[in-house]
Amino acid sequence: MKQVIQTVKAPAPIGPYNQAIIANGFLFASGQIAIDPASGQLVTGSIEAETRQVLENVKAILEAAGLGFEHVVKVSVFVKDMHLFSRINEVYAQYFNADAAPARELVEVANLPKFVNIEISVTAIAPAG
């Protein structure tokens, strides 16, 4: 049994997938890129601005499921340039408490959807029910 999570506060899927699925006590959120859900436009200008928008999109999905960043247990970060690592971490640290931060990988890739610089997906512990 699975539950679909959808919110207008995060970008609508651009393919045959959902923003998130809850199954077996976990929320699995699809990868988010820096699309502003209000305008549908990509947020560009700096890796910090892109990262912040991505994490705000993740936050909206978590909140739609009644969760917060404290429920996240695993994060996957995909970037086009590993040299952006420290700048991404500066923004990331504003969303995750270092003492209870989730497991994470950050992987450099050749390309991402819409040719953005960063994509993030998360897995979180979901409430029973």
DSSP assigned state of 113: G
pLDDT of the residue at 1: 87
pLDDT of the residue at 14: 84
CA distance 65 to 84: 31
What average pLDDT is seen over the chain?
Answer: 96
Domains annotated for the chain, with CATH where assigned, are: 2-125 (3.30.1330.40)
Report pLDDT digits (tens) over 36-87: 999 999 999 999 999 999 999 999 999 999 999 999 999 999 999 999 999 9
